[in-house]
Structure 1
Amino acid sequence: MQETHMENRRLPMAKKRGKFDRTTIIVLGAFAVLAVITAIVAFSIARDLFKSWTATDIEGIPVEASNGEANNNTIPTVPMDQQLQSDGPNPDPWDGKSRVTVLVMGLDYRDWEAGDPPRSDTMLLFTLDPLTNSAGILSIPRDLWVNIPGYDYAKINTAYFLGEVNNLPGGGPGLAVETVKQFLGVPINYYAQIDFNAFVRFIDEIDGVKITVEEPMTIAILGSNKKVELEPGTYTLPGDHALAYARNRKTDGGDFDRAKRTQQVIIGVRDRILDFKMLPTLVVKAPVLFSELSAGVRTNMTLDQVIKLAWLVQQIPSENIKQAVISPDMVQNAFSADGQDILIPIPDEIRLLRDEIFSSAGAVGPAAVSQDDAQLMQAEQARISVQNGTTTEGMASRTAEWLRSLNLNVVDETNADQLYDATTIFIYSGKPYTVRYISSVMGLENPRVYNRYDPNAQYDIAVVVGADWANSNNMP
């Protein structure tokens, strides 16, 4: 087969887009955050030309107020503190400097067509850490069998449905966010959904997205009977082709491969936007892009917060963006009691993957502690409870005093509710750098780490010292 990876074959843009079929809208939910971010980055770049923009003053980013008069016929205006079409959960506060995480969802419109509340078909977690100038994207399979708060175990994609049908506070987005929070043990600040027709138009407006196809495949162009054969190589895909490429399940990996392709297109869009050669075009099109995307996005972020996130994203180099998918080796295939195909999570495997995405230093482990590790730990300001899970009197107080000497914020010393053979760490609000630091300084080679997400807990992390620590430790 002729090698084509170094070539760039441009496929023609669709002249007229027909009505998409019922599965069109369920795939590109993962694109919402980066689509909005990149459009607003371009919009912000153009602000001096349009003389109608006042951006948030972010530390380290000079912002000049415009002296010109606004032309409201050219640029749509939105109050900086207004949420963008949100009827979901109230967001956790974000100061623009600490880690921020967004749950992005695409919905199964087949449910809507049937007159039922929708289930989520695409779930993706986007996280950004200004401290390390890094970001991560984690795709979550829709068939994961997890505990849904208040509703026992079910597929993770039913959380949205249950929140909607039962009119819970925050609706479907609220319960979906709480479910993912509990499952992964990390805080989530915001959620986002998108109108995917607008996003297809967005890709066409930026003249397509460059994609490298690794294996032969046939993609079905939605809204038509057209099929396109893609051989291995590099292509510039128009919006409808990019959508068809991302949603294609007919490969050996099925939904797992689809998740990888979705992330591939996300990064392709980002790279396209940040390509210097695109900036003149984006400056001209920025008002249209912003208008279309803001009309098609539902999120509990304010415009001010989106702009902060936009500036941070465009400064992160590609090598600092981690991409991951909960893969087949992290789950077990099974059947539910009513015969559904489900995926049973393997907690230890998923925890390691989570740590890789949410900690720039990698998975929690006994590696040597560096100065950067200590700085990142202190920046998290995690509240720590040290609990004695042994019969050795005073073990909690001794350990707490030693950890304080290492600048850890120990706020509680007490006895555990039972005896522990092995030292165990419980996470209540997702502080990955602190967990890594504690595991390292205590020399825990195979740390037992469990998620007990509880935003109302009096501390962020509980360290329960076990018999292994009482019998052998490195305290002076």
Structure 2
Amino acid sequence: MTEDKKKSPKILTGLKKLPWGMIIAWTVTFVIAIGIFVFLRNFVASMEMIALPGMAVVDSPEEAPAEDGAPAPKPETSAPESDLPEPWDGASRVNILFLGLDARDLDLDAPRSDTMILFTIDPASKTAGMISVPRDMWVDIPEGFGYGKINTAYALGEQYDLPGGGPALAMKTIEKFLGVPVHYYAQVDFHAFEEAIDAMGGLYMCVDQKIRIDPIGPKRSEPFEKGCAIRHGYQVLAYARDRKTMKGGDVTRAEHQQEVIMALRDQVLSPENFPDMVKIAPKVYQEASKGLRTNLSFEDALKLGALATQIDPSQIKRGVINYKMGTLDRSPDGLSIMKPIPDQIRILRDEIFTSAGALSPQAVGTPVELMQAQASRVNVLNGAYGIVEATELAARTQVYFTSQGMNVVGIGSADKSYDHTTVVLHNADLYTLRYILDLVGASSNYQVVFRFDPAAGADISIMLGNDWALNNPMP
């Protein structure tokens, strides 16, 4: 990549600031917008990927589908009673399925998925990856539907009103096809994505080849010029959806989508752009959330946003299931399909999800042991006030935290008075964060503040409040 491609111009605007927590939450939801993966950098720490269980990608016998590649269902659904996922523990590998809906189906009650990208992030090794699945892949759709094109799984879940709807059935289908668990999903329609790009002033992208794009709606086809430039939302969307002007078809389109993902990441993380990204976050969030649907809780989105900030671009693995991993064929009713070559897909899956296999295990060790292993630098600052228990609270707390194995590098007075203890992350580790929040009994997201500052001299600053002064385990 040339030096010019590494530089992105500032995107200027004057919108009102959001709190840091909402900015990070927006970061997660915005990337979600088109099967796009998280793009911030530098807040959390420590990771390591492990092995995929030897689950093979299932081969595809021919089975007659119904109209448009969607197989006729069999009456044996066993979807869970609730589609709410277990809260993320903040330390184990997490996989998120990004879904973009087919623009041709947006007026239907049960649209198909046009984009399916499975994103994985591992808090133990500070690595991430994404794998794109072609929409014509011929797979076994769970819940008794049999074989059909993978993009019909979402539509079937919606059409038959299964628990969790289309997203839940799409997640199960990907799980069965790739042999890895899918913990969360994020789905957005294309119009919301286009409007969100425009709300952030366009997207700075560099492409190596000029192509002709065909935007959705009344706009005429136009060239998408080679080189680096700020592109409008409709242009970015058309580029991400194009599969007719390139020889690679769906495979090339998937590659384009991953290029958009990385361009989004670079633009938001660029030091000269980040202050302006903060200012426009409210408008972008408003536009992106119009068509957003996800089972991520705000708390988990917050933690994922913090974790994703620590992933270096070199540690993001990218893969597309291409024509070497499947054979082009026709379904029994004449639709174009791709039949998987299981061994080839399994190789790609293992490369993307880890160097040695599938899922990282749950973090091993007690909260205290994990905190000690991370050795995060911690400042303890006294923000308690008006009570006798606040006297020398920082010094007494330092002695206690040090006895627990915490790496306390400094004590002092907080910037203001605090009723509730607040944890400020400068460049922190999740294990240490979890230990501190449990110890101080934090019960609100407002007790965690993200304030990225590599020069802070500490990874975490703890602003001790009256709650800690009056109720703590110190002798």
Instruction: Give the TM-score, by structure 2 length.
Output: 0.59
Q: CA deviation at 1:287?
A: 2.7
Kindly provide the CA deviation profile for residues 153-205 of structure 1, in whole angstroms up to 9, marking residues without a partner as x: 11111111221222212111111111111111111111111143332233233
SS of corresponding position for 1:329: coil
Indicate how the Cα distance of structure 1 residues 36 and 194 shifts in structure 2: closer, same or farther if over 3 A, else same. farther
Q: Does residue 1:178 correspond to 2:172, yes or no?
A: yes
Kindly provide the CA deviation profile for residues 85-134 of structure 1, in whole angstroms up to 9, marking residues without a partner as x: xx993224421111111111112243353x45211111110110111101
Determine the C-alpha separation between the residues in 2 that align with 1:230 and 1:157.
Answer: 27
SS of corresponding position for 1:207: coil
- 1:396-407 paired onto structure 2 within 5 Å: none
- 1:34-45 paired onto structure 2 within 5 Å: none
2:246 maps to 251
Q: Tell whether the 8 Å contact from 1:210 to 1:235 is kept in structure 2 after alignment.
A: yes
Query: Which of the residues 213, 221, 226 maps onto 2:207?
Result: 213
Indicate how the Cα distance of structure 1 residues 106 and 272 shifts in structure 2: closer, same or farther if over 3 A, else same. same
2:312 maps to 317
Q: Tell whether the 8 Å contact from 1:30 to 1:124 is kept in structure 2 after alignment.
A: no
Q: Does residue 1:239 correspond to 2:233, yes or no?
A: yes
Indicate how the Cα distance of structure 1 residues 112 and 197 shifts in structure 2: closer, same or farther if over 3 A, else same. closer
2:281 maps to 286
Q: CA deviation at 1:256?
A: 0.7
- AA paired with 2:209? E
Determine the C-alpha separation between the residues in 1 that align with 2:235 and 2:300.
Answer: 31
Indicate how the Cα distance of structure 1 residues 162 and 202 shifts in structure 2: closer, same or farther if over 3 A, else same. closer
2:149 maps to 155
Q: Does residue 1:353 correspond to 2:353, yes or no?
A: no
Q: Tell whether the 8 Å contact from 1:136 to 1:321 is kept in structure 2 after alignment.
A: yes
Q: Does residue 1:141 correspond to 2:134, yes or no?
A: yes
2:302 maps to 307
Q: Tell whether the 8 Å contact from 1:5 to 1:233 is kept in structure 2 after alignment.
A: no
- AA paired with 1:221? P
Q: Does residue 1:96 correspond to 2:97, yes or no?
A: no
- 1:44-123 paired onto structure 2 within 5 Å: 89-113=83-107, 115=108, 117-123=110-116
Indicate how the Cα distance of structure 1 residues 92 and 308 shifts in structure 2: closer, same or farther if over 3 A, else same. same
Indicate how the Cα distance of structure 1 residues 196 and 141 shifts in structure 2: closer, same or farther if over 3 A, else same. same
Indicate how the Cα distance of structure 1 residues 256 and 289 shifts in structure 2: closer, same or farther if over 3 A, else same. same
Q: CA deviation at 1:35?
A: 6.7
- AA paired with 1:90? L
Highest RCO, 1 vs 2 (Cα 8 Å, sep ≥ 6): 2
SS of corresponding position for 1:96: coil
Determine the C-alpha separation between the residues in 2 that align with 1:34 and 1:160.
Answer: 14
- AA paired with 1:243? L
1:204 maps to 198
Determine the C-alpha separation between the residues in 2 that align with 1:377 and 1:173.
Answer: 25
Q: Tell whether the 8 Å contact from 1:29 to 1:194 is kept in structure 2 after alignment.
A: no
Kindly provide the CA deviation profile for residues 373-422 of structure 1, in whole angstroms up to 9, marking residues without a partner as x: 9xx679589xxxxxxxxxxxxxxxxxxxxxxxxxxxxxxxxxxxxxxxxx
SS of corresponding position for 2:265: helix
1:332 maps to 327
Indicate how the Cα distance of structure 1 residues 262 and 308 shifts in structure 2: closer, same or farther if over 3 A, else same. same
- AA paired with 1:341? S
Q: CA deviation at 1:257?
A: 0.3
Unaligned runs of 5+ in 2: 13-28, 47-80, 366-475
- AA paired with 1:175? L
Indicate how the Cα distance of structure 1 residues 142 and 92 shifts in structure 2: closer, same or farther if over 3 A, else same. farther
Determine the C-alpha separation between the residues in 1 that align with 2:232 and 2:155.
Answer: 32
Indicate how the Cα distance of structure 1 residues 295 and 116 shifts in structure 2: closer, same or farther if over 3 A, else same. closer
Q: Tell whether the 8 Å contact from 1:173 to 1:191 is kept in structure 2 after alignment.
A: yes
Indicate how the Cα distance of structure 1 residues 310 and 34 shifts in structure 2: closer, same or farther if over 3 A, else same. farther
1:264 maps to 259
- Between Structure 1 and Structure 2, how many residues are aligned? 311
Determine the C-alpha separation between the residues in 2 that align with 1:380 and 1:244.
Answer: 45
Query: Which of the residues 336, 348, 357 maps onto 1:341?
Result: 336
Q: Tell whether the 8 Å contact from 1:137 to 1:322 is kept in structure 2 after alignment.
A: yes
SS of corresponding position for 2:228: strand
Indicate how the Cα distance of structure 1 residues 200 and 116 shifts in structure 2: closer, same or farther if over 3 A, else same. closer
- AA paired with 2:299? D
SS of corresponding position for 2:105: helix
Give identity over the alignment, percent.
Answer: 43
Determine the C-alpha separation between the residues in 2 that align with 1:276 and 1:311.
Answer: 17
SS of corresponding position for 1:168: coil
Instruction: Give the TM-score, by structure 1 length.
Output: 0.59
Q: CA deviation at 1:244?
A: 1.5
Kindly provide the CA deviation profile for residues 257-276 of structure 1, in whole angstroms up to 9, marking residues without a partner as x: 00100010011001100011
Q: Tell whether the 8 Å contact from 1:352 to 1:363 is kept in structure 2 after alignment.
A: no
- 1:363-378 paired onto structure 2 within 5 Å: none
Q: CA deviation at 1:5?
A: 8.5
